[in-house]
Amino acid sequence: MRAAAALAALLCASAAGAEDTARFEAAFKSCRPCHSLTPGKGSTAGPHLGGLKERVLGSAEGYDYSPGFQAARRQGLRWDAQRLAAYLDDPDAVVPGGWMSRPGGLSADDRAALVDHLLR
């Protein structure tokens, strides 16, 4: 009985995981024109977003950031869940004068899925 309950819990957790991933994929479509998830690959309009967990703001190699991001980098600020959620909600509030405008059309759940996956 206990094993069955544990199995059911496990199945539910992995179904929720797949749903999260689908939500992330859908939400990230709006970022892809400007961001790649792979260092050195894809779009050059914005910095790549690979390995964002604890990455210093404005530190993707080869990307020429705005002065706002360069200042954040000098301060050694790092990405964490709180900062990334705030940035997606209002980029200018986290990095004043940065070049990215507020991503439109995202629900709170979309933003949560983006934060969760980008910081894995």
Positions that interact with ligand HEC (CB under 6 A): 30-31, 33-35, 45-47, 49, 57-58, 60, 65-66, 68-69, 84, 87-88, 98-100, 103, 114
Cα torsion for 81, 46, 117, 88, to the nearest 10°?
Answer: 40
Count CB neighbours of 57 within 10 A. 26
Minimum CB separation of residue 18 from ligand HEC in Å reads 20
Minimum CB separation of residue 104 from ligand HEC in Å reads 9
Output 9 or 53, the one with its CB closest to ligand HEC.
53
Residues 88, 100: contact at Cβ < 8 Å? no
Output 88 or 112, the one with its CB closest to ligand HEC.
88
Output 57 or 112, the one with its CB closest to ligand HEC.
57
Minimum CB separation of residue 84 from ligand HEC in Å reads 6
Nearest CA to 80 out of 63, 68, 93, 94 is that of 94
Assigned token pair, 52: 């964002």
Query: Rounded to whole angstroms, how far apart are CA atoms 66 and 59?
Result: 12
Angle CA 86–19–49, to nearest 5:
45
Output 8 or 32, the one with its CB closest to ligand HEC.
32
> What is the number of the residue whose Cβ is closest to ligand HEC?
31
Minimum CB separation of residue 38 from ligand HEC in Å reads 14
